[in-house]
Amino acid sequence: MVSNGIAGALARSWRERVGYLRLRMLLSRHGLGGYLRRGARVDAEVGARLRRAASEAGVTYIALGRLLSVRRDIVPAAIAEELTRLGSDGVPMSWPDVEAVLRDSLGGPVEQVFAAVDRTPLAVSLIGQVHCARLCDGAPVVVKVLRPGVRAQVERDLPVLRRLARRVPGGVDVAERLSASLREELDYTVELANMRAVAAADAGSTAVIPVPYPALSSTNILVMQRLSGTPIGAAGPYLALLDADTRTRAARALLETALRQILIAGVFHANLHPNNVLVDDDGTLGLLDFAAVGRLDEAERRVIADLLAVPDKSDPIAAFGTEGRFPEQVARAFRTLAGVERTLLLLDPSFDFVAAARLGALRGQGENRE
């Protein structure tokens, strides 16, 4: 008689083998069968095929591709460049599917909590989507809803990914980091805790962080205050209406917020790209999407401040180079600052990021050593 533990292990092993074979078949359809062998050629065409294969394979492999696109220490430049083109948008869920997730998470009819929920999503990603809503007390909120089945899909993919990772130098480390990151993204209670941690650590920020509703949130839904404003990545027409001083103040506020979180608080929003930062018509900034948050100890904060404060004309972000040179959280902080630079240059194309970051680092050095 086979015990439940042995039966479960056999079932997992079988699912892993089936998943691995399916992935090999998918790679073969895209002309990548030989790429699994060591020493296979690497060029832009291979990168394009990998990008298309990752898109077809789904959320886990798209996330892997996006992670590898910034790991040029282990991924050839031709492939990394192609992987930067992987999208993060998903297919919108139907309203009945959204309503079912809300009902299951709330433990009753949606109408008992929400006076209204916009059935058209505000944003759609690979793992879920966001809806505007209004609570029964009239408060405007947004609701993040996890895509049904996505957690099970990722859990099926991860063992296959680890098996593949053993073939690539540095691959096991990447696979483990991706596994941890995806599991956090697929649990909205983690994002809720991240929002509260950043807000508590950076209470003096002029950038607005949404207030979450813990009693209404769960692993599958996240209810939070709705902020006004437009994502900077889509705010071109609105930015054109702001005067130059307002745009410069907003850019400076964004950099100061990021530097304060990284150099002083040691808890920072790790994904400040243009679609995760709102700008209001008076230049006020709002921060969105706290699925990725970094944490730094005092020694790591000092390393970052020292690198940013180097008294020469080089760009500390460009000079950072390959990620393998620094601990993961330090590398994460520099990736965050690179995203901040892209975002604030949309606010103010004339903003001198290098000079401002260096000045902020010098101030941070002083505060850290007091």
Q: Specify whether the CB–CB gap between 291 and 198 falls below 8 A.
A: no
282-307: per-residue pLDDT in tens? 999 999 999 999 999 999 999 999 88
Please count the structural domains in the chain.
3
| Higher per-residue confidence, 194 vs 368 | 194
| Predicted local distance difference test score (pLDDT) of residue 8 | 47
| Predicted local distance difference test score (pLDDT) of residue 7 | 43
What's the Cα-to-Cα distance from 60 to each of 33, 88, 159, 170, rounded to whole Å?
A: 20, 11, 11, 18
If asked whether residues 9 and 64 sit together in one domain, one would say yes
Averaged confidence pLDDT in the chain: 85
| Predicted local distance difference test score (pLDDT) of residue 2 | 47
Close Cβ partners of 319 (under 8 Å, ≥ 6 residues apart)? none
Tell whether 221 is covered by a domain.
no
| Predicted local distance difference test score (pLDDT) of residue 312 | 59
If asked whether residues 282 and 194 sit together in one domain, one would say no
300-337: per-residue pLDDT in tens? 999 999 888 876 555 555 555 444 567 888 988 998 99
158-193: per-residue pLDDT in tens? 888 888 778 777 788 888 888 988 999 999 999 999
> Where residue 13 falls among pLDDT bands split at 50, 70, 90?
low
| Predicted local distance difference test score (pLDDT) of residue 238 | 86
Tell whether 212 is covered by a domain.
no
* DSSP labels, 170-190: THHHHHHHHHHHHHHHT-HHH
| Predicted local distance difference test score (pLDDT) of residue 54 | 86
What integer is the mean pLDDT of 202-207?
Answer: 86
Nearest 5°: phi and psi at 224? Answer: -145, 160
Close Cβ partners of 113 (under 8 Å, ≥ 6 residues apart)? 106, 135, 136, 216
| Predicted local distance difference test score (pLDDT) of residue 369 | 54
If asked whether residues 171 and 195 sit together in one domain, one would say no
| Predicted local distance difference test score (pLDDT) of residue 214 | 98
Percent of the chain with pLDDT over 70: 85
Residue 348 has pLDDT above 80, yes or no: yes
**Torsion, CA 218, CA 328, CA 49, CA 47, rounded to 10:** 150
Residue 267 has pLDDT above 80, yes or no: yes
Tell whether 223 is covered by a domain.
no
| Predicted local distance difference test score (pLDDT) of residue 39 | 53
| Predicted local distance difference test score (pLDDT) of residue 268 | 96
| Higher per-residue confidence, 114 vs 155 | 114
| Predicted local distance difference test score (pLDDT) of residue 35 | 61
Residue among 81, 272, 74 at smallest CA distance from 174: 74
Close Cβ partners of 4 (under 8 Å, ≥ 6 residues apart)? none
If asked whether residues 286 and 345 sit together in one domain, one would say yes
Token pair, residue 262, equals 């990284």
The set of long-range contacts for 115-120, using a CB threshold of 8 Å and a minimum separation of 24, is: 117/143, 119/95
Residue 99 has pLDDT above 90, yes or no: yes
Nearest 5°: phi and psi at 262? Answer: -75, -50
> Where residue 370 falls among pLDDT bands split at 50, 70, 90?
low
Tell whether 77 is covered by a domain.
yes
| Predicted local distance difference test score (pLDDT) of residue 270 | 93
119-160: per-residue pLDDT in tens? 999 999 999 999 999 999 999 999 999 999 999 999 989 888
Residue among 127, 142, 326 at smallest CA distance from 217: 142
If asked whether residues 170 and 48 sit together in one domain, one would say yes
- Cα(243)–Cα(240) distance, integer angstroms: 8
| Predicted local distance difference test score (pLDDT) of residue 284 | 94
If asked whether residues 294 and 176 sit together in one domain, one would say no
36-61: per-residue pLDDT in tens? 555 556 667 888 888 888 888 888 88
Tell whether 156 is covered by a domain.
yes
| Predicted local distance difference test score (pLDDT) of residue 291 | 92
Tell whether 70 is covered by a domain.
yes
If asked whether residues 277 and 350 sit together in one domain, one would say yes
> Where residue 256 falls among pLDDT bands split at 50, 70, 90?
very high
Residue 11 has pLDDT above 50, yes or no: no
Tell whether 54 is covered by a domain.
yes
> Where residue 18 falls among pLDDT bands split at 50, 70, 90?
low
Token pair, residue 9, equals 């292990």
| Predicted local distance difference test score (pLDDT) of residue 6 | 52
Listed in order, strand segments (DSSP E) in 112-220 are: 114-117, 123-124, 128-135, 140-146
| Higher per-residue confidence, 276 vs 366 | 276
Token pair, residue 270, equals 């790790």
DSSP 92: P
Tell whether 210 is covered by a domain.
no
Q: Specify whether the CB–CB gap between 251 and 348 falls below 8 A.
A: yes
Percent of the chain with pLDDT over 90: 49
If asked whether residues 308 and 331 sit together in one domain, one would say yes
What is the pTM for the complete model shown?
A: 0.84
If asked whether residues 360 and 247 sit together in one domain, one would say yes
If asked whether residues 137 and 79 sit together in one domain, one would say no
If asked whether residues 21 and 164 sit together in one domain, one would say yes
If asked whether residues 82 and 111 sit together in one domain, one would say no
Domain that holds residue 139: 95-148+187-200
